[in-house]
Amino acid sequence: MIDRHLAAEAKAAARQLAAIAAAGEEGRVNRRLIRGLAEEGLLPRLFPRRAGGTREGETSAVDLCVVREALGQESTVAENAVAIQTLGAYPIVVGGTDEQASRFAGPVARGEAVAAFALTEPGAGTDAGALALRAERDGKGYRLSGTKVFISNAPDADIYTLFARTMPEAGTKGITAFVVDREAKGLSGTPMHLISAHPIGRLELDGVFVSDDRVLGEVNHGFRLAMRTLDLFRPSVGASVLGMARAALDAAIGHASSRRAFGRPIKEFQAVSHQLAETATRLEAARALVYSAAEAYDGGDEHVARRSAMAKLFATETAQQVIDVAIQVHGAVALERGHLLEHLYREVRAPRIYEGTSEIQREIIARDLFRR
């Protein structure tokens, strides 16, 4: 069930922290904002008690969607901060021991540490099973060597949940998840600059030693952990862009009501009003699909991978269309740097790529259909 009180809390927190969000350096982690989100109680609400949070049970996909949708409508900067913190820590929460959850995820939930999810590589994006970063056995641990790219919160994160190959030529069956510290010898990173100014970067690992107590779950079973994480987060990616699209639609409705052309408000032209009616309908359908997938995850549905893929695919494609229509309704004014819609237009593009492209979501759906 959707917790409307939680949505109101998320919006209130975003407004309370608006000045801190705006004061952050573009493209770098805003630690003051992350601490503020924790102090407002928002981050801890998404973590179980054993991982430093306030939840009695495990992380709820529905609650994650509620928070990300509300923040997406109010502040994409705050939404991004919450999303990356939870994404970076979730493999620890679900795959780690109680000691690991408390030790590594606890500080993330409390806003004391910054987390990152490090899966993508130069030759392994959509095809995550093609990871090449090596993890070679060395005494009571492993030596990690290779490159990660497009890692949110890199190179500023304090801890990375990082996936590496422990069994050569084994495809998805030879991948293991590790917790890697920012200060680890041999780890370096550089920022990357995308069309939307998120904190994101590249990591280089040159023989980084990771002890056995930083292995998450079973050796050679890390791919399953990565996919379980993505099954949880894909609906919430959809929820985040629904928030952005809702903000764009509200702006378009307001503009169409006040803007006059040929002696009357432009909302009276069917070419405008029917476009908005269509996008509002698609947005409502996308929202239903997102929360249905989130409920399926929370309920342990066996087809959650397919439903999560459907939610992410339809919601991200729909949000792009809604924001594009809102810009068309506004005209050239929406293209000016700093306009809400110019900002949202840049923000909404990446979700159709990260955590699995639209194309790979269709592949996941098709495979599940034919498997049945």
249 and 199 Cβ atoms separated by less than 8 Å: no
SS3 (DSSP) at 124: strand
Q: How far apart are the first and last CA of the chain?
A: 29
Residue 360 CA, distance from chain mean position: 17
Q: What is the DSSP string of 200-232?
A: EEEEEEEEEEEEGGGEESSTTBHHHHHHHHHHH
Count of helices and strands (H, E) across the chain: 12, 10
Torsion of CA 240, 242, 248, 251, to 10 degrees: -110
Could you give the CA distance from residue 297 to residue 287 in angstroms, rounded to a whole number?
Answer: 16
Catalytic option among 69, 121, 355, 363: 355
Which H or E run contains 187? strand 187-191
**Is 355 marked active-site?**
yes
Q: Is 185 exposed, middle or buried (0-12, 13-18, 19+ CB in 10 A)?
A: exposed
DSSP 302: T
The 10 Å Cβ neighbour count of residue 6 is: 18
Could you give the CA distance from residue 133 to residue 243 in angstroms, rounded to a whole number?
Answer: 36
Q: Enumerate the active-site residues.
A: 355
